Chain A
Amino acid sequence: MKAAIEGRKPQVQARVRPRIKISWTAIAFVSPAIVCFLLFKYYPLLQAVYMSFFDYKVINPPGKFVWLDNYKYLIHSTEFWNAFRNTFAFFFIYFILTFWVPIVQAVLLNEIKFASKTLRSLYLLPTAVPAVAGYLLWKWLYNPDYGLLNYLLHFIGLGPYGWLNDPSMAKWSIVLPGVFATGMGMLIYYSALQGIPSENIEAAKIDGAGPWRRMRSIVFPSLKFVIGIQFISFICGVFLTFDPMYIMTGGGPASSTKTLSMLVFNSSFKEFRFGVAGSISFVMFVIIAVITYLQIKLSNKD
């Protein structure tokens, strides 16, 4: 992303900079990485595209060459479009529920002087629960029979809810745990805030800006860059989310939490249609590439 921009920058500098010979050391330093990337990224990607043109048989690869049949199948497949919609719905829900949370947390924590370090540690604590463990825990909390959540909510007169059992709530229920595991993101924003020169704040104070207005006019804008960066990784992360659905719902109820990632997994490891899986993979790659490209375009404008 950003590197793509930087990648061009040195071209200009190259003429200015003294010419450095390509040395054996350089080759020795960079080739392990090149081999790894070729082997574990580019080759599999090409392989995925290759597989997508076959009715791929694992036992007697590659099977029958079917040209674009797998892609045609996708276009007519209700499951694919359902997963496609779900993926974007998840994207939307993650954005509404989780993306802004660490920003608010960090901006407000920035106002706190007393016990700030302790609060930071406490924010970080839930991050220690391995993601898989967290999902298992939440699955249990959601249980409509003996789960803690419905029990707690009934004290404030809410529920009982079906949570993962309710097709209209399942997506939200999958995202909800993310609201309470934002420790790392909060920390990123928080440390970015520490970089604001104190003169700026003082100057605003002198201008008579109260703390709320300062937050709006100085603190928040200074995060813009970090938010942009975080947004890119947020997009990729959400687009590829797999673990919570696999663990909490397996894609159900009634396919309401089945995403493209789950579809790739199911079509390859449950239905053994590797060709179809390859074609979905390629579609996903294209979508991500387009999003990233747009993102670079937009940030270039700024």
Chain B
Amino acid sequence: MKKKQRFRTWSSLAIALVLMLMVSACSGGNSSNVTNVSEATNDSSSTNAAANNGSDNAEATADNTASNGGTVEITVWDQPNPDDTMKSIKEEVYADFEVQHPNIKVKHELMPQGTNDREVFVTAMAGGNGPDAYHSAHFPIIADWVGQGLALDLTPYWDSYADKDKFIPSSMEAGTIDGKVYGVPHDMYVTGLFWNKKMFEAAGLDRDTPPANWDQLVEFGKKLADPAKKQYGITLLGMEWADWWFEYYVWQAGGDLTHVNPDGTVQLAFTEEPSVTALQFYKDLKWKDKIVQNNVLQSYQDNMNDIFQGRAAMSNAASGGFGDYVAQGMDLNDVGFAPYPVGPSGKGPGQIGGAYWIINPKTTKEKQDAAWQYIMYLNSKEVAEKYLQFQQDNGIFPNLLSVRSDVDPSQFAQDISPELVAAVNKAASDTHLEYFLKERLTPYVVKAVQKALTDEKSNPKQLLQEAQDAAQKEVVDAYNASVKK
């Protein structure tokens, strides 16, 4: 008897303590920011069903909430960084939105910085603290996120969207899955070869002629490399994202890292001829020709620093990145951009990349509607042109590729050499999406690439064979099984 009583007092004490902890913790933290998760999830289960019925128009519901007199507050991770050159115009546009939509209040929060934005987003979503709308669902990751249940099916909204035909088709490709639209294109870029014209000139090369093929790349690279000055020909990306730049070389060699079969299953192509040729070439750049950086594993940021400070003469570059180049002290007149040098296949396609707006499937229907309103506004022609105009007025280099066909950035780029604009358009004429299932296969490809770059004696064919065997067994078999089901 006594024992039981004791136990009861114990447990009641324990409960009291937990409560105390929670109360103190909440009042200590920013309790106002904490959204009531349980409430949100309860609501969403019912509202999701409504969304799936799909017939009700977004506008109508937005009006409903307005007539109810309620204001919807949504959270979006798009607060500009303090050193964002576009800060003032963004804040102006955000303010305009709230004027035009008095029933929607947008809470702008800082997007996670650095290279771990994806991790931050997913953990926040897992915890129910994710944003209602998010504009950084990168092309290769969105399919995975849809599978994880992180992105709302936007098809009902999309079907009634007046501007839906205004988005260029290549920007819609990755975000449309099984005929359903999950993402609204936010921005996009095309990649190509950057070269530093000043360094070309100093090395006795023609400042306006980039290498046209692999042989020239090596030939030019040897002339540009100067170990005494810590200067080298072309940057490689050997860190955790090594597969990102490596795939370009595979394309140049005429292949890809994976193939998608008509039934949706995946076939690995690591050991196919082009992949092996590409890795052998990659390895030669490092060990035989010695025209890349010594520190092949250096971070993306270190690569960029080498470019900005004139240590790297050539690099992969994205059309959206020239603004950074100039912001970091490069003279735009020294920036050259062209489609990639072609490989044995005679091709050198650029990669199309970019990011989508997605909406949180776990939030309430009202918030989803409001988020859609917000996305439509920020993706409108007016806002896009407002940004471009601001960039022109302030001498900021624009992204030359627009997701909307009715917005032409080159119109707002009068100070920019037509040559550069033409180069971007040329690169955009032959493009490629990143290899399929990249988000799951990355570790296997990266391992092989890193090994080739760090071990002179390694055998590319064998490395790729090992990678393929492991990936087949651990990823692809399961994936294909799930597709067939």
Residues of A participating in the B interface, judged by any CB pair closer than 8 Å: 22, 27-28, 31-32, 34-35, 38-39, 57-60, 73, 76-79, 143-146, 162, 164-168, 249-255, 266, 269-272
Asked whether A165 and B297 contact (CB < 8 A) given A145-B230, A250-B240, the answer is yes
Are the CB atoms of B446 and A35 closer together than 8 Å? no
Q: In the complex, what residue of chain B is closest to A168 when comparing beta carbons?
A: B455
Contacts of A252 in B (CB 8 A): 238-240, 297, 446, 450
Docked Cα-Cα span, A36 to B46, in Å, equals 36
**Looking at the complex, which one of A76, A251, A253 makes contact with B474 (CB distance below 8 Å)?**
A76
The B interface, classified by DSSP as helix, strand, loop or mixed, is helix
Asked whether A254 and B293 contact (CB < 8 A) given A73-B474, A76-B474, the answer is no
Q: List 17 A-B contacts (CB under 8 A).
A: A22-B6, A34-B14, A38-B14, A59-B148, A60-B149, A73-B474, A77-B474, A78-B474, A145-B294, A165-B297, A167-B455, A250-B239, A252-B450, A254-B450, A255-B450, A269-B122, A272-B148
Are the CB atoms of B451 and A143 closer together than 8 Å? no
Are the CB atoms of B14 and A58 closer together than 8 Å? no
Q: In the complex, what residue of chain B is closest to A38 when comparing beta carbons?
A: B14
**Looking at the complex, which one of A34, A145, A165 makes contact with B454 (CB distance below 8 Å)?**
A165
* CB under 8 Å from chain A, chain B span 8-26: 9-10, 13-14, 17-18, 21
Contacts of B473 in A (CB 8 A): 76
**Looking at the complex, which one of B293, B295, B361, B443 makes contact with A79 (CB distance below 8 Å)?**
B443
Contacts of B126 in A (CB 8 A): 58-59
Interface size counted on chain B using CB atoms at 8 A: 42
Could you give, for residues 434-477 of chain B, a 1 whenever the CB lies within 8 Å of some chain A CB and a 0 otherwise? Answer: 00000010010011101101110000000000000010011000
Are the CB atoms of A59 and B125 closer together than 8 Å? yes
Could you give, for residues 198-230 of chain B, a 1 whenever the CB lies within 8 Å of some chain A CB and a 0 otherwise? Answer: 000000000000000000000000000000001
Interface centre among B17, B18, B118, B447 (most CB of A within 10 A): B447
Are the CB atoms of A166 and B454 closer together than 8 Å? yes
Docked Cα-Cα span, A254 to B444, in Å, equals 9
* CB under 8 Å from chain A, chain B span 321-376: 361-362
* CB under 8 Å from chain A, chain B span 135-174: 148-150
Docked Cα-Cα span, A57 to B361, in Å, equals 14
Are the CB atoms of A58 and B122 closer together than 8 Å? yes
Contacts of A166 in B (CB 8 A): 454-455
Are the CB atoms of B454 and A167 closer together than 8 Å? yes
The smallest beta-carbon distance between A26 and chain B, in angstroms, is 11
The smallest beta-carbon distance between A162 and chain B, in angstroms, is 7
Interface centre among A28, A31, A73, A254 (most CB of B within 10 A): A254
Is B123 an interface residue when CB atoms closer than 8 A count as contact? yes
Are the CB atoms of B10 and A254 closer together than 8 Å? no
**Looking at the complex, which one of A32, A39, A59, A145 makes contact with B149 (CB distance below 8 Å)?**
A59
* CB under 8 Å from chain A, chain B span 271-301: 293-298
Is B84 an interface residue when CB atoms closer than 8 A count as contact? no
Is B415 an interface residue when CB atoms closer than 8 A count as contact? no
Q: In the complex, what residue of chain A is closest to B15 when comparing beta carbons?
A: A35
Q: A31-B10, A145-B230 are in contact. List 13 more A-B contacts (CB 8 A).
A: A22-B6, A38-B14, A58-B122, A79-B443, A79-B470, A165-B295, A165-B297, A167-B450, A249-B297, A253-B453, A255-B450, A269-B119, A269-B122
